[in-house]
Amino acid sequence: QVTLRESGPALVKPTQTLTLTCTFSGFSLNTSGMCVSWVRQPPGQALEWLALIDWEDDKYYKTSLKTRLTISKDTPRNQVVLTMTNMDPLDTATYYCARRQGGLTGDAFDIWGQGTMVSVSS
């Protein structure tokens, strides 16, 4: 069974750096075509893609947030970490990680985590 679970602080202060961890099971990021991505959703708003890392350690970022985002993977620990610097109240959102396996489901995110809510406030 494939699962992903996000973890991190529920509250951060403006200007701080957010670090989120996606811990997954049921697949390996060593497998060709496998990717993990981060997506966020402010309350009552649409999904917003943030970043993606693939099995070859290639990384892709939302252009407008590229200077603030870093995505990395720890393959033996089955984890993907997202850091976002200089947090602002507008970054308040539920943050999801999701898997893209390529192959059977192409470039779609076939499995999503439950999400973790992050509030930015002083």
From residue 82 to residue 101, the character string flagging contacts with other proteins as x (rule: CB under 8 A) and all else as - is --------------x-x---
CA distances from 58 to 3, 53, 86, 92 (A): 22, 6, 24, 27
Backbone angles phi, psi at 89, to 5 degrees: -50, -30
Name, in order, each residue with C-beta under 8 angstroms of 46's C-beta and a sequence gap of 6 or more. none
- Binding-site size for other proteins (CB under 8 A) equals 24
Q: Does 1 bind other proteins (CB under 8 A)?
A: no
Q: Does 60 bind other proteins (CB under 8 A)?
A: yes
**In the set 23, 27, 33, 49, which binds other proteins (CB under 8 A)?**
49
Chain contacts with other proteins (rule: CB under 8 A) = 37, 39, 46-49, 52, 60-64, 96, 98, 105-110, 112-115
